[in-house]
Amino acid sequence: MSVFRTIYSSIPFGFDESILNGILVQARRMNARDGITGALICRADIYLQWLEGPEQEVRDTIARIKRDDRHVEVRVHVAETVADRVFGDWAMLHDPAQSWIWSQAEIADGAVDRATPQEVTDFFLRLSDVAAR
């Protein structure tokens, strides 16, 4: 059975540990309800999230995120149907992205705008490999 996958980035608004914890609690609860799994890579300067599950539920989740004032400049990098889940065991895996993705200087220089779908996918595939260990 196929699943729908979306990877988006956004700029955190009002980022701190409390905001992040609230996002993670809400995401895990709602994702479990909607049959969505995924991962969130985040720092004070970026959220990069992988969502996978039933297409309508994933699209509804992205629409909700776009309305959420904790996210600025939501940009979808990948939206595709795939054969299998990558993060099937995780309602929302969290990684603080200390070294997984672009540096803060690279983000400030427009790395997110230049990112290819494969580049952002590869960040998560690397995270998936580490999480599986």
110: left (phi over 0), alpha (psi -120 to 50) or beta: left
Share of the chain above pLDDT 70, in %: 90
pLDDT digits (tens, 9 = 90+) for 53-64: 999 999 999 999
Strand 93-95: give its sheet, edge to edge. 71-82, 3-12, 46-53, 37-43, 93-95
What pLDDT is recorded for position 79? 97
pLDDT at 93 over 70: no
- What pLDDT, in 10s, does the model give residues 99-130? 568 888 888 899 989 999 999 898 888 888 77
In the chain, the domains with their CATH numbers are: 3-131 (3.30.70.100)
